[in-house]
Copies of this chain bind each other. A is one copy, B any other.
């Protein structure tokens, strides 16, 4: 396995970890709202796979990855089942989920932008689709449980981290030779995740209107 294959595999694992983290976060909401098992699965699948489904549906380059690569659904449904059965709590647990969620925001922003560039899109829609990949699942989740989507404000940098990761992908895509897409995605994901964690620790927010 060469470097390109290896980085592609690492990106896929990060992508699936992001699914797991988002399904766990959805599980916390589902428990608060006293959903049944189907509710856990529906909310979990919408949270964990919604962003990628939105991205692939908008790109219109074939059936979404989340439906053709069965690992995505297995992860989402498996973790939703776990969240339903096991009442998890505690500061360290939440901290771990948040850490993975930050990595997911960066990864999804980067992966989304890369896929859009691969489909021949201009860099500006590519950054939009990267951001939408990262925040779309959470927006659908918040709509379904009737919360104002957290993407609109009132919390530390969130969509911004995904936008940053997507922007790094767009930049590096111009500066690096073909075949480096996997490595580029990893670097961009790391930048996005680091920004997200830093913003969380420092309490960085965008100013309200």
List B contacts of A57 (CB < 8 A): 57-58, 60
Instruction: From A32-40, A102-110, A191-199, give the one contacting chain B.
Output: A32-40
Interface check A67, CB cutoff 8 A: yes
Contact of A152 among B36, B45, B53, B64 (CB under 8 A): B36
Contact for A60 among B45, B62, B73, B209, CB less than 8 A:
B62
CB distance from A178 to the nearest CB of B (A): 22
| Chain B nearest CB, measured from A164 CB (Å) | 12
Most buried by B among A31, A53, A60, A139: A60
Q: A30-B209, A58-B64 are in contact. Are A38 and B151 (CB under 8 A)?
A: yes
Q: Which of A41-98 contact B (CB under 8 A)?
A: 42-43, 45, 53, 57-64, 67-68, 70, 73-74, 77, 84
- CB-defined contacts of A209 to chain B, threshold 8 Å: 30-31, 34-37, 39-40, 84
Q: Is A206 an interface residue (CB 8 A)?
A: yes
Alpha-carbon gap, A144 to B70, bound state (A): 30
A124 contacts across to B, CB distance below 8 A: 70, 73-74, 77
Assign chain A's interface to a size class.
35 or more
In the complex, are the beta carbons of B125 and A70 less than 8 A apart? yes
Cβ contact within 8 Å between A153 and B34: yes
With A63-B60, A146-B148 already in contact, the answer to whether A37 and B119 are too (CB < 8 A) is no
Q: Which residue of B lies closest to A140 (CB)?
A: B143
A-side interface residues toward B, CB under 8 Å? Answer: 30-31, 33-40, 42-43, 45, 53, 57-64, 67-68, 70, 73-74, 77, 84, 116, 119, 121-122, 124-125, 128-129, 135, 139, 143-146, 148-149, 151-154, 158-160, 163, 205-209
A-B contact pairs, 14 of them (CB 8 A): A35-B152, A36-B205, A36-B209, A37-B206, A39-B152, A63-B119, A63-B121, A68-B121, A70-B124, A70-B125, A73-B125, A77-B124, A139-B144, A144-B152
